[in-house]
Structure formats: C-alpha cells, structure tokens
Amino acid sequence: MTDADELLEELKLTEAPDSSATTHIKIGDKDYHIDLSEIPYLSSFANFETKAQTQPKDLIHGPIAHFDVALKGIKLGFRQCFRSLPPDLAQHHALCETYEFLCIDVIGGQSLSEIMYELKSGKYKYVDTYYEGDKPKARDAAYKLLHLMFCGEFKDEIKDSMKVYNAVMYVVSHGKTFKWRTRKVVRAAYEERFVVSEKQRAALDKWEKTSAVKLAEEDSRDVTTEEEVSDDYDSDYNTYPFYCD
C-alpha cells in the first residue's frame, strides 16, 4: 500500500458515521458521536449513567487528555498518534495514560516478538518484482512498541532491553517507513526506559537526522506520495526474524 493509497483509505474512514450506530456524548467542552462498543470505559460509563438516571439525559463526561488523538488512533490506526502529537515524550505519556484509562488494549495481547514481525511488514519485498509492504501495519506496530515501553512489564531487564533495542534500531534506521516524529519518540522512550550503552547510543546517533529542511520534507511526504523502492538499512537488522525467544 502506497502512502497515497493510505490517505484515500483514511478519507473513506473519516466519512460521517451512521448516527444509528453511535451515541452522543459530551467530553469536556466537545460533542461526539461515538460507537461506544469500541471504548470499554465509555461503554461502562454510559451503562452506569443510563441506569442511574430517572429520565433520559445527554451523557456528559469531564475532560480526557488528548481524547481527540486517542479517538483518531482507535478509528484510523495508532500510527495517527505520531502524526497528531508533537514529538514530545510527556505528551505521549499522557496519551498512553488515556488509552489505559479508556481500557483500550493497544498491544492486543501481542508479544514483543510479534510486534517486531509487524515492524518488518512495511519493508519492500521481492518476488518476481519489487512491491511495497504494508506500511500502515508497520507504523501501527511502532506505536505498539512505544506503548509497550511506556506500560509493559519486562521479566528480564537486561535480556529484554536488547530485544527492544533491536526493534528501536529497526525503526530509527528505516526512515522511508517510519517518519521522523516516530523515530524521535521511539528512541526517546527507549532511552528513558532502559540503560543505554555508549555503543548503542553511537549506533542510534548514526541515523539521527537534524536538518530542519529534510525533516519538513518528510512531513510533507508522510501520507501524500509514493516512496522509493530501496530501504535505508541493509545489515543484520534486515534479517527475519530479529531473534528467537
């Protein structure tokens, strides 16, 4: 799927929802029509409020941090979270807390190994000719990786940190699949969650892009143009799978 195809698909998904399948609810100062079955916490909230009311009333809930972004991620794929927020770790932490509050299973019960497989799904493959991989799936997996680093529990900090590092390195080194906001936040989350060796930091620095012009070009190409066939990183990190449990 090209980036242009992805944009068209998202435009279809953002068409006005069927009002018969949604519930009107006010969150903070904004009105929404939401399919509550997609958001367990709000579904429970609506059930409780409905039973507690003696007569029908509009559902009203207090503000929820980054709810618009969270809803977009639920509807259009978690990759939208990288596009909708600045590459600021504190804001992504707040969004992660919102997903936990809403009882959204971002990771979907997947293991780190399964998330890493999905990261590879965006890579160009060769059969009789090159064809583009599933970049939306890979980009969604990058957000799952971020969520795992924020909220996940690791049995062995040393062993698991190396596995996560492999995944982070893959994201950082594949700029044609993962845009700069994704790369920056994923790396920052790893450096916050784990102890980073000098060798690891140097390897990550190798792929750091600092040119404001080039980063702006990445933003402009994010969901509007097709990308080149070649991938960035050609080394052991391109082997499949990364490791065995």
For 22-90, give the DSSP string: -EEEEETTEEEEE-GGG-HHHHHHHHHHHHH-SS---EEE---TTHHHHHHHHHH-TTHHHHHS-S-HH
Q: Can you give the pLDDT at residue 53?
A: 77
Reported confidence tier of residue 155, pLDDT bands at 50, 70, 90: confident
Reported confidence tier of residue 239, pLDDT bands at 50, 70, 90: very low
Determine what percent of the chain is predicted with pLDDT higher than 70.
Answer: 73
Contacts of 67 (CB under 8 A, 6+ apart): 27, 28, 30, 98
Q: What's the whole-number mean pLDDT along residues 68-85?
A: 97
Q: Is residue 154 part of a domain?
A: yes
Q: Is residue 122 part of a domain?
A: yes
239 phi-psi bin (left φ>0, alpha ψ -120 to 50, beta other) = beta
68 closest CA partner among 12, 27, 25, 16 = 27
pLDDT over 60 at 240, yes or no = no
Q: Is residue 244 part of a domain?
A: no
Q: Is residue 225 part of a domain?
A: yes
Q: Is residue 243 part of a domain?
A: no
More confident: 219 or 35 = 35
Lowest mean pLDDT among 11-20, 25-34, 133-142, 174-183: 11-20
Q: Is residue 220 part of a domain?
A: yes
Determine what percent of the chain is predicted with pLDDT higher than 90.
Answer: 62
More confident: 171 or 222 = 171
Using an 8 Å Cβ cutoff, are 96 and 78 in contact?
no
Q: Give per-residue pLDDT as tens, 107-130.
A: 999 999 999 999 999 876 665 665
The range of the structural domain enclosing residue 89 comes to 3-238
Q: Would you give the end-to-end CA distance of the chain in angstroms?
A: 30
Distances (CA, A) of 178 to 26, 87, 219: 34, 13, 11
Q: What's the whole-number mean pLDDT along residues 74-84?
A: 96
Q: Is residue 245 part of a domain?
A: no
Q: Which tokens hold the place of 195?
A: 């102890």
pLDDT over 60 at 245, yes or no = no
Q: Is residue 48 part of a domain?
A: yes
Averaging pLDDT over each range in 20-34, 64-78, 197-211, 231-245, which range is the top one? 64-78
| Cβ neighbour number for residue 231 with a 10 Å cutoff | 17
Q: Give per-residue pLDDT as tens, 140-151.
A: 999 999 999 999
Number of domains into which the chain is organized: 1
Q: What's the whole-number mean pLDDT along residues 91-97?
A: 98
Instruction: Name the pTM for this structure.
Output: 0.80
